Amino acid sequence: MKIRDLLKADGIKLGVSVPNRDAAIDELVALQNKCGNISDAAAYKEAILAREAKGSTAVGMGIAVPHAKSSSVVKAGLSAMTVPGGVDYKALDNAPSKLFFMIAAPDTAADTHLEVLSKLMTLLMDQKFASDLIAAKSPDEFLNIIDAKEAEKDAASKPVEAAASAPKSSSYRFVGITACPTGIAHTYMAAESLEQKAQERGISMKVETNGSGGAKNVLTDKEIADAEVVIVAADKNVEMSRFDGKKVIMASTADAIHKASDLLDKAVSGNVSVYHHSGGSSKKESFDGNETMGRKFYKHLMNGVSHMLPFVVGGGILVAIAFLIDTICGYGTTGGGNFGTMTPLSAFFKYVGGLAMGLMVPVLAGFIAESIADRPGLAVGFTGGLLAANGNAAITSYIWGADNVLADNLSGFQKFIGGFAFQTGGSTVSGFLGGIAAGFLAGAIVLWLKKITSGFPKSLEGIKPILIYPLCGIFIIGVLMCFILNPIIALINTGLSTMLTALSDAGLIALLGLILGGMMAIDMGGPINKAAYVFGTGMLGTAADLMAGGASASDPAVKACYIAMAAIMVGGMVPPVGIAIACKVFPKKFTKAEQETWISNVVMGCSFITEGAIPFAAADPAHVIPCTFVGSAVAGLLSALFGCTLMAPHGGIFVFATVGNPLLYIVAWLIGSIITAVMLGFLKKDAE
């Protein structure tokens, strides 16, 4: 197969003038459509933009190669365009792009086109070739230039292939590996750049390409062993265990394309760190030579969030179904605290959904730690997340707890442990914020353990990941969570409860509604949220006691209790719905995966499952939490001002039959949700 088989004259447009990147993409997509390479232009463009979101496909030197794999691609094909005046395509060298090749690749197993595309990418590294294409006057001339260069490349490669098939008497001084997310363009351009610069210096070098069609030019164990330095230029995960003990330079494909000489200078100097692998033979690592600390933090965080999301959605909707079943069965006004478990079927959905949602924080923490420290971090992070989600409450139920006479017989260190960590006066659940902290702590702990055990004898390497890391790591994270973070959370929780009680006693109902609504949206299941909810359920108990003593439902003291509960529930219903609205109105602010959860967020918001907002808050707490806080606080304030009451502790719209002033309650809910959505639109940055 030749390049001409993928690029037709109808797919070439020369001398074009476009104002911006999007216009250039539209022109190239139209050419692909004209050639019959794609079945759905809109879907294919969406795939192109998704690839651009990972990093610009403008490789510099005036060249851009937008590309994507998509089910909308009927057959592999190319479209080409020249823009003599240039257009800003966000190239790494900041130069305007003048030569464009758009690659349409089917997402099937048929990869016969990949070799041709890789050849085109290597040809483009020749600047004269690119300049000749930009100067072409007609599509036929454009194609003839490609044919001539391709024939020259094929002729030059034959002696190389013959030499490759002959027995080698010498090894390579340097070896390398290149890989990019799609494995179509940058992988091969980076490899070509490294090999060209090495050849110019008379340095023997072999580069393995991890492209879309699999690994090519694969490095042998002997070649790796004999090489002085390994250059890893990768923007995605690559197998690293085979480079253990070798001098390794870690860079991005962009560095290999534009700074190959610098990488080779460093390799020649020999001033390169030795790579020590840990975590099992299957470990993969990704590298970005330009990665900042903030970017690393974000990647670790998003690894946890992406794994947590299915638990939130699946578990939350199952719980919502439980509420729906009880409502259909007539328990919407009588279920009370047992609402959602009034029938065997609803109890099943509530139980399974609740367990799934209970795994949110442990999974979040576990996969943050796994991203930082590979597989050994998973167990430590998961344990830290469990402690964040459950707190120290379970320990106080043991026989030496506060209500047992054995507690009075403790002494010495045992008494210190029991009194300091486990005899707290408030909830010790730290929620998703505690889970994030636990995840990063766990990752740091395992990295520290790897460092201090690096000098252990080789015979102990096998027991590190299965004994030393989990045993020591879980112990350390347990101490940090149970003796530091969780007790501090209890103190915060106790203080918040005292403040809320004081506001209620002072009759500041509107202010109380404002604060309760806002508290529900800060940490969504953490100490602040829990303090508000526990206060609300306590107020329902107070109302029941007052009515048992002869007070009526219209009594101001009783009504105040129900107003507080209403403010709490409306505050908890705002974040998921506000985020769902923002996903539809401001889609650029959210990733594709986040946008697709808008329906589930509406369902969870309507069901008073605030946790639907947790993945968004965890991914971008600095912007999302202030927006949800303000929206929920306004909703709580309006609910209190409207005199809305609620006699049930849970259920969302399924218990609206127990709401006083339901229409105004919905108004408060919608206003708060819209405020959250608008704030997200203004404050949140465009998604990566």
Expressed in angstroms, the distance from the first to the final Cα of the chain is 36
Q: What is the pLDDT of residue 282?
A: 42
Q: CA 97, CA 82: separation in Å to the nearest integer? A: 9
Q: How much is the mean pLDDT over the chain?
A: 83
Residues 393-408: what's their mean pLDDT? 61
Q: What is the pLDDT of residue 287?
A: 45
Q: 35, 67, 300, 650: which one is catalytic?
A: 67
For the chain, what percent of residues have pLDDT higher than 90? 30
Residue 404, CA distances (Å) to 124, 396, 410 in order: 78, 10, 11
Q: CA 677, CA 577: separation in Å to the nearest integer? A: 8
Q: 35, 113, 180, 186: which one is catalytic?
A: 180
How open is the CA angle 495-569-595, to the nearest 5 degrees? 110
Q: What is the pLDDT of residue 144?
A: 92
Which of 326, 332, 322, 445 minimizes the C-alpha distance to 379? 445
Instruction: Point out which residues pair with 238 in neighbouring strands.
Output: 285
Q: Let me know: does 410 contact 472? Beta carbons within 8 Å.
A: no
- Residue 255 reports pLDDT greater than 60: yes
Q: Residue 478: CB partners within 8 Å, gap ≥ 6?
A: 383, 387
Q: Let me know: does 87 contact 96? Beta carbons within 8 Å.
A: yes
The tens digit of pLDDT for each residue in 98-142 reads 999 998 888 764 454 556 667 777 788 788 888 999 999 999 999
- Residue 679 reports pLDDT greater than 90: yes
CB atoms within 10 A of CB 22: 12
- Residue 670 reports pLDDT greater than 90: yes
The tens digit of pLDDT for each residue in 61-89 reads 888 888 888 888 888 889 999 999 999 98
Q: Let me know: does 511 contact 503? Beta carbons within 8 Å.
A: yes
Q: What is the three-class DSSP state of 645?
A: strand
Q: What is the pLDDT of residue 515?
A: 92
Q: What is the pLDDT of residue 631?
A: 95
Q: CA 359, CA 614: separation in Å to the nearest integer? A: 13
Structure tokens at 177: 């590996």
Residue 129, CA distances (Å) to 45, 67, 143, 152 in order: 28, 21, 12, 12
Q: Residue 165's pLDDT band (boundaries 50, 70, 90)?
A: very low
- Residue 520 reports pLDDT greater than 50: yes
Q: CA 226, CA 354: separation in Å to the nearest integer? A: 56
All structural domains of the chain: 3-108+127-155 (3.40.930.10), 167-291 (3.40.50.2300)
Q: Residue 166's pLDDT band (boundaries 50, 70, 90)?
A: very low
Residue 340, CA distances (Å) to 238, 280, 332 in order: 47, 45, 9
Q: Residue 13's pLDDT band (boundaries 50, 70, 90)?
A: very high
Which of 432, 624, 606, 601 minimizes the C-alpha distance to 528? 432
Structure tokens at 594: 């986040």
Q: CA 424, CA 401: separation in Å to the nearest integer? A: 11
The tens digit of pLDDT for each residue in 574-632 reads 999 999 999 999 998 988 878 888 888 999 899 888 888 888 888 888 899 999 999 99
- Residue 406 reports pLDDT greater than 80: no
Taking the complete model, does pTM exceed 0.75, yes or no? Answer: no
More confident residue, 572 or 185: 572
Residue 311, CA distances (Å) to 304, 364, 530, 688 in order: 12, 10, 20, 23
Residues 472-487: what's their mean pLDDT? 89
67: annotated active-site residue: yes
Q: Let me know: does 198 contact 261? Beta carbons within 8 Å.
A: no
- Residue 285 reports pLDDT greater than 50: no
- Least-confidence region, from 5-19, 268-282, 478-492, 528-542: 268-282
